[in-house]
Amino acid sequence: MATKSKTGKGGAQAPVKEKERGGQSGGQRPARRPEEARPAATALPKEVVVDTAITVRDLATLMQRSPIDLIKILMQYGIMAPITHTIDHDTAVILGEELGVAVKWPPSEDEEEEEVVEEKAGTSEAPKSRTRIQQVMSEQETAQLEDRPAVVAVLGHVDHGKTTLLDRIRHTDVAAGEAGGITQRTGAYQVTINGRKISFLDTPGHEAFTAMRARGAQVTDIVVLVVAADDGVMPQTKEAISHARAAGVPIIVAINKVDKNNANPQRVMEELAKEGLQPEAWGGDTIMVELSALANMGVEDLLDNILVLAEVEQYKANPKGACVGTVIEGELDKYRGVTATLLVQNGTLRRGDTLVVGKTWGRIKAMFDYEGKIIKEAGPSTPTVVLGLQEVPMAGDVFERVNNDRAARQIAEERRLAAAVPARTSRTMSLEDFFARFEGGEAKTLNLIVRADMQGTLEPIVKSLNELANEEVTVKILQASIGDISESDVMLAEASDAVIIGFSVGVDKAAAVRADQSGVEIRHYEVIYKMLEDIEDAMKGMLEPIYNEVVIGHAQVLQLFKLRKGFVAGCMVSDGVVKRGALAKARRGAEEIVTGARVETLRRFTEDVAEVRQGYECGINLTQGDELLKEGDVIELSERVRVR
């Protein structure tokens, strides 16, 4: 695609697409005429002021145009973006040029000062949110502290029996309901053993959920590391050990499946010793319990050890103090709206409390325990599902009770503003992305749009997909969000040749209809490893193919016509076929006078056509070199045919 460059702020080169005749937009929309993108100047302001980034909607408001006008222009560049999408300043300049509006920088901004502000804004919030719970705990008076239940995270390799162990502990059966037999999300439960409570976090076992499992360790007092006696130490076992060590929490090893014929607990202990976990029986300090969750062998011994360790460690909190805790999971439920699983770490959370949760807030309308029963309050170490938040929080966000809605709203807004600049930097449609498809290079790109049912599920999916990239194929996630697949997702996929990945989500009716009409592929998954296998297979198919150039026809130049822009060769197709877009060479006798060209336009009389066959006349306009042609020259047409 032809481009021209315009020097933006700081000398940056901003490529600008030139008008093309006969260009087509995506889907079933009619071809855009050049004049349609540029309305009368009197209907528009002469210039607008735009800072580093702006949404499509806000830019349209400044330009006094409908957002649809801007979206149509973006479509001409192969990009479909919703009106809430953020674009950078240089992209706004390009849209302004298409609409006849000058886009200027704010005159009083100082760039260096702005960068310092952005840097501070990007680093100030994260450390505060990570240490807020520790800060609250340090402010509690010792006399007010009371014993609280231990919070135990169950970690380990896929299919080593973590969920089955929890089923046995809480006398329920959720394992059979898990897709593919693998836990898909972090669950939080509380059980009573011999009159004492223990809170459990059931973290996913698949290696793609590393980030979610790490969050489980961060709010954990004790880690129960489940290792199958017939399988031994696996990659995720080692990851779980590192997460527990990083969190500074003690580890109890549950050597599971000892009832199997090929079980070898001794080998498991030897492998764990190599990882630095020395069994107590060997003089070390790591508690190791042999058990079978399925056969209910040794489970009570494990629970006794957890209670003993909790008594030794003396976990305490102030149930009457400031209420703070951590988000275990956030979800957008189609019936109940925004739901969040919270783990209270200090104070007592009650229905009607107003919370600030990360960058959102809300008043608690209802509370449920892990069994779905309505509760009125939750004390320290108690997991609870709440309704009433304004937006879906991130798993790992810190929540804190505040005095009223006004204060909560203000704090959440301040946090959003503080994080706005770095968020724009990471999510903005930059010019590099905007024009990547028009730049040369060997890399191939697999465009993906990802939808998941929960924020905590979405993060590891995105991380795993990004890790699939290699030197030859790049994975580009155009959009990743929670909730059902929407028509906007399909439109974006349609414009950018993307595949939509849906994980445990549905498809809106309008989205399904549009996807069927436009041929956009939507792939549904319930288990992550199956998704990764499919994506890897797709990437193998995108590796650099081998092509042969095959001659498809010849055309003899009968006459040359001079037009306002370039030349058109009136030709007779002597053999084969002439196709629009075909590779073209021109010969004059034995001399090759034009190489490396393509058929840009092809006409029969005044009609644009896709191809012309032997024995018919046509008008051929080449992408280059047509001014060198003379009557009698022969144009050779060819196509690249993939042979591997």
| Share of the chain residues as helix, strand and coil, in percent rounded to the nearest 5 | 35, 35, 30
Residue 15 pLDDT exceeds 50: no
- Given a cut of 50, whether residue 124 has pLDDT beyond it is no
CA distances in angstroms from 64 to 46, 59, 189, 547, listed in the order given:
11, 8, 54, 49
pLDDT digits (tens, 9 = 90+) for 103-113: 887 654 333 33
Q: For residue range 480-489, list pLDDT tens digits in order.
A: 888 999 887 8
Across the range 296-324, mean pLDDT stands at 93
Query: 158 pLDDT exceeds 90?
Result: no
Q: How far apart are CA 378 and CA 56, in angstroms?
A: 43
3-state SS assignment for residue 215: helix
Find tokens 């609409």 and name the residue. 99
Residues of the chain with CATH 2.40.30.10: 324-342+356-425, 547-642
Alpha-carbon distance 88 to 433, whole Å? 11
Residue pair 584/607 in contact by the 8 Å Cβ criterion: no
Which of these ranges, 332-346, 530-544, 603-617, has the smallest mean pLDDT? 530-544
The pLDDT of residue 17:
39
More confident residue, 56 or 424: 56
- The CA angle 320-323-326, to the nearest 5 degrees, is 140
Place of tokens 């104070």: 347
pLDDT of residue 448: 87
The mean pLDDT of 129-142, rounded to a whole number, is 74
Residue 147 forms beta bridges with which residues?
Answer: 316
CATH class of residue range 324-342+356-425: mainly beta
Residue 443 and residue 474 in contact, taking contact as beta carbons nearer than 8 Å: yes
Q: Which residue has the higher pLDDT, 468 or 537?
A: 468
| Alpha carbon distance 455, 389 (integer Å) | 14
Tell me how far apart the terminal alpha carbons of the chain are, to the nearest angstrom.
Answer: 27
* Residue appearing with tokens 């502990």: 169
What pLDDT was estimated at residue 341? Answer: 92
Please give the model's pTM, rounded to 2 decimal places.
0.52
CATH number of 547-642: 2.40.30.10
Of the pLDDT bands very low, low, confident and very high (cuts 50, 70, 90), residue 555 is very high
Percent of the residues in the chain that have a pLDDT greater than 70, as a whole number: 77
Residues of the chain with CATH 3.40.50.300: 149-314
For the ranges 28-37, 347-356, 367-376, the lowest mean pLDDT is seen at 28-37
The span from the CA of 509 to the CA of 490, in Å, is: 12
Average pLDDT, the chain: 78
Domain with CATH 3.40.50.10050 in the chain: 441-542
- The answer to whether 49 and 105 have CB atoms below 8 angstroms apart is yes
Mean pLDDT of 448-458: 88
Per-residue pLDDT band for 572 (boundaries 50, 70, 90) equals very high
Fold for the domain defined by 149-314: Rossmann fold (3.40.50)
The third-level CATH classification (topology) of the domain covering 441-542 is Rossmann fold (3.40.50)
Residue 546 reports pLDDT greater than 70: no
